């Protein structure tokens, strides 16, 4: 095969190494090789990223193949097509001439076609006396025949990778769903465990996940999530298997703990706070008249504003973030693990966390947070304590402080209400909060 510098109406194009490599492949094509052109095109389309082709260049290749009349491409047949630029642009859905030139060059560089230019750069076919084509100038499709097996292997590699990626995404989705559900179940059922730490671990792992992740990164994240999944599952299964024995031991353990000198010392130090936890008969009546639904997160955060400083990035978006902050606050307040575990068992982890947030909000007024929490836990066991009165008292104190501050500045109370970030509550709730304590 003769090598020469090709010229076209678009200017002179020197022979490149890619063109020489494509010609070498075409020359090595075995005799009698035959392929279904659209089958090979499908393989090329699936492996386009590995080959280096683009969507636009494949649109042009599709148009070039359509100019070959037979469904098969044969090494023994004519493999050169010679459409004009206008014909190519029309079959490529009206592609502009500049775009056509650019993507034809991509097809050549990828080794999908070879230019066979005439001396004057025109594309045409010269026929003999019998009507058969003796010489054609245009685009040679022989690399598609010569590399058909290679394209099929590349397409299979892409399909294998796609299946692996899809499996990794499904595995990630299932792990994320199961972990969140198990954490929620552990919190709702009051299962002993450091759910705040587990939540932070989960958020840290998911935080490494970009919008578009390669499969290797997905596999690494799934491995870490699976370890966390096993840890949470073991905690839940252990609690399920030993639930009744644990309940019996917890009752007897409380009696033993009350006889422990350290526990007595803790309770005695918090004795002054016990009266505060007990409150008056009117407060006990209010406890039973409070709504049975859960406290909204927004109201709790408005009452316990200092709680946000314990959260990651000082932002609490949901109850999982709220519970994660409890794991930070407990050691800061000096609450022992046993006191916290008992509070979670009696109150439930969410109510225990709300109670701890209220204690943290008034930390400067409480001498012994651990003893206070134990006292509240004992009252909750007798049905005489709810987190509602604590949160409402904090909201009432906040409103009173705002009103006093506004009066001190000589401004109207409405100015305080307009302060950015203030929680909007109903008039009925405001009247309840502003009622004088009995």
The number of beta carbons lying within 10 Å of the beta carbon of residue 210 is 8
* C-alpha span between 418 and 195 (Å, rounded): 37
* C-alpha span between 62 and 55 (Å, rounded): 10
What is the predicted pLDDT for the residue at 226?
92
Tally of CA atoms within 13 A in the half-sphere of 307 that contains its CB: 32
First CA to last CA distance, the chain: 106
| Strands 11-13 and 80-81, sheet pairing | unpaired
The number of beta carbons lying within 10 Å of the beta carbon of residue 368 is 21
* C-alpha span between 26 and 14 (Å, rounded): 19
* Phi-psi region at 7: left, alpha or beta (left = phi > 0; alpha = psi -120 to 50): beta
What is the predicted pLDDT for the residue at 352?
92
Nearest to 390 by CA among 276, 309, 291, 298: 276
Nearest to 351 by CA among 381, 380, 387, 321: 387
Burial class from Cβ neighbours inside 10 Å (0-12, 13-18, 19+) for residue 213 reads middle
Tens of pLDDT, residue by residue, the chain (438 residues): 333 333 343 334 555 555 555 566 655 666 667 899 999 999 999 999 999 999 999 999 999 999 888 888 887 778 888 888 888 888 888 888 899 989 999 999 988 999 888 877 788 777 766 667 767 888 999 899 989 999 999 999 999 999 999 999 999 999 999 898 888 888 877 788 888 888 889 999 999 988 888 999 999 999 999 999 999 888 888 887 776 454 444 433 333 333 333 332 233 333 334 333 334 444 444 444 444 457 788 888 888 888 988 887 778 888 888 998 888 888 888 888 889 999 999 999 899 999 999 999 988 888 888 889 999 999 999 888 888 888 888 888 887 777 777 777 655 444 444 444 444 444 444 544 444 444
* C-alpha span between 369 and 67 (Å, rounded): 85
What is the predicted pLDDT for the residue at 14?
53
What is the predicted pLDDT for the residue at 254?
36
Distance of CA 2 to the CA centre of its chain: 57
81 φ, ψ (degrees, to nearest 5): -115, 150
Instruction: Report, in angstroms and rounded to the nearest whole number, the Rg of the chain calculated over CA atoms.
Output: 38
pTM: 0.47
Nearest to 242 by CA among 185, 183, 192: 192
Nearest to 105 by CA among 70, 60, 148, 135: 60
Distance of CA 161 to the CA centre of its chain: 21
Instruction: Evaluate whether 416 touches 403 at the Cβ level (below 8 Å).
Output: yes
Residues 6+ apart with CB under 8 A from 98: none
Taking CA atoms, 131 is separated from 77, 134, 135, 138, 340, in Å, by 15, 9, 12, 19, 96
SS3 73: strand
Residues forming a β-bridge with 15 = none
């Amino acid at each position: 095969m003769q090598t020469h510098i090709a010229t076209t109406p678009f200017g002179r194009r020197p022979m490149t190494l890619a063109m020489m490599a494509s010609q070498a492949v075409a020359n090595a094509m075995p005799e009698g090789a035959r392929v279904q052109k659209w089958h090979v095109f499908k393989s090329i389309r699936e492996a386009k990223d590995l080959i280096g082709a683009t969507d636009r260049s494949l649109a042009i290749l599709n148009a070039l193949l359509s100019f070959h009349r037979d469904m098969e491409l044969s090494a023994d047949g004519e493999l050169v097509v010679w459409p004009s630029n206008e014909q190519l642009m029309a079959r490529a859905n009206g592609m502009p001439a500049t775009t056509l030139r650019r993507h034809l060059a991509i097809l050549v560089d990828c080794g999908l076609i070879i230019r066979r230019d005439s001396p004057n750069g025109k594309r045409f076919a010269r026929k003999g006396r019998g009507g058969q084509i003796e010489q054609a100038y245009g685009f040679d499709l022989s690399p598609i025949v010569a590399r058909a097996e290679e394209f099929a292997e590349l397409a299979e590699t892409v399909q294998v990778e796609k299946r692996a990626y899809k499996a990794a995404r499904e595995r990630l989705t299932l792990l994320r769903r199961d972990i969140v559900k198990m954490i929620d179940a552990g919190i709702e059922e009051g299962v002993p465990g450091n759910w705040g730490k587990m939540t932070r671990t989960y958020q840290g792992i998911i935080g490494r996940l970009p919008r578009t992740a390669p499969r290797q990164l997905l596999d690494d994240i799934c491995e870490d999530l699976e370890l966390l999944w096993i840890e949470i599952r073991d905690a839940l299964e252990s609690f399920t298997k030993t639930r009744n024995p644990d309940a019996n031991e917890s009752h007897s353990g409380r009696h033993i703990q009350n006889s422990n000198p350290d526990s007595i010392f803790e309770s005695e130090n918090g004795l002054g706070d016990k009266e505060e936890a007990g409150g008056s008969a009117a407060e006990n009546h209010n406890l039973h008249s409070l709504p049975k639904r859960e406290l909204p997160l927004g109201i709790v955060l408005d009452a316990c504003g200092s709680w946000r400083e314990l959260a990651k990035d000082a932002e609490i978006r949901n109850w999982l973030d709220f519970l994660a902050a409890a794991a930070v606050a407990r050691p800061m307040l000096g609450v022992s693990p046993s006191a916290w575990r008992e509070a979670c068992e009696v109150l439930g982890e969410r109510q225990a966390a709300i109670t701890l947030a209220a204690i943290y909000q008034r930390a400067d007024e409480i001498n012994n947070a651990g003893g206070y929490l134990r006292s509240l836990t004992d009252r909750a066991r007798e049905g005489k304590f709810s987190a509602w009165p604590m949160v409402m008292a904090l909201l009432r104190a906040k409103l009173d402080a705002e009103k006093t501050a506004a009066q001190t500045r000589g401004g109207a109370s409405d100015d305080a209400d307009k302060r950015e970030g203030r929680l909007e509550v109903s008039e009925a709730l405001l009247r309840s909060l502003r009622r004088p304590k009995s």
